[in-house]
Structure 1
């Protein structure tokens, strides 16, 4: 429960509790706090048990900790019914980004060089020459403008 409290912080909390409640009332306050924590835990456990009973036997392995998104994702990654490991291992983000960068800068990549069997002059197959201006369509190729449609 208090895994992230260090020894110095714990001593500071004890000194603060002695100053606030006094040495006479401190044991009674500690008993009240522990009793309250026990009642809250009992209430939580009984609520969990009631929910499990209401869900039925199909959810006998259901754990409320699985509702935490991190735990859910970790469990699904271990389970791997969807083939996520294969997808994750087959996708190399650095390689994909390098290929895109090379295509934008007009450099040959290893994958495009190995897939093309015939060398082409000028720009490569499927590549866009960014140094040329785009062609503007002729006036006859444009669809008619309809002012009422806008």
Structure 2
């Protein structure tokens, strides 16, 4: 329940409890709090039991932790019936990002060179097979298009 509380935080809580309630009333407060937590747990367990009984026998294996989206997805993808691991392993994000970056900067990548080698139409209506976009010089800024932003 309190997995992320360290020793220093625990000591601080104990000192605060002693200062607030005093050493005389502290055992009674601890008993009251622990009894309250037991009642809440019993109420929660009975509510879960009632819900399982109302759902019927087909939901016998139903766990309320499955309602958490992360747990539900992790449980569903353990079988990997859709082949998602194969897709994930076959997808090279760095190569795809490099292709997109090259396309944005006007460079031609290796994978796009075959697709871009076909004739392209120019403004005059003819084809231009030899013209390739030149990369900007080192100190030169790329052209700015106000309509694109």
Instruction: Find out whether 1:122 has 2:122 as its counterpart.
Output: no
- Aligned equivalents of 1:119, 1:37: Cα separation in 2: 73
Deviation of the 1:123 alpha carbon:
5.4
Aligned length: 124
User: Structure 2: where are the runs of 5+ without partners?
Assistant: 120-128, 134-149
Give me the whole-angstrom Cα distance separating, in 2, the residues matched to 1:74 and 1:82: 13
In the TM superposition, 1:11-26 aligns within 5 A as: 11-26=11-26
Deviates more, 1:40-49 or 1:63-72: 63-72
The alignment status of 1:33 with 2:41, answered yes or no, reads no
1:46 match: 46
RMSD over equivalenced CA pairs, Å: 2.5
TM-superposed CA distance for 1:84, in Å, is 2.1
Q: Corresponding residue for 2:144?
A: none
Q: Distance in 2 between matches of 1:51 and 1:123?
A: 71
Compared with structure 1, are the counterparts of its residues 54 and 122 closer, same or farther at alpha carbon in structure 2 (3 Å cutoff)? farther
Q: Which residue of 2 aligns with 1:79?
A: 79
Equivalent-residue separation in structure 1 for 2:69 and 2:83 (angstroms): 19
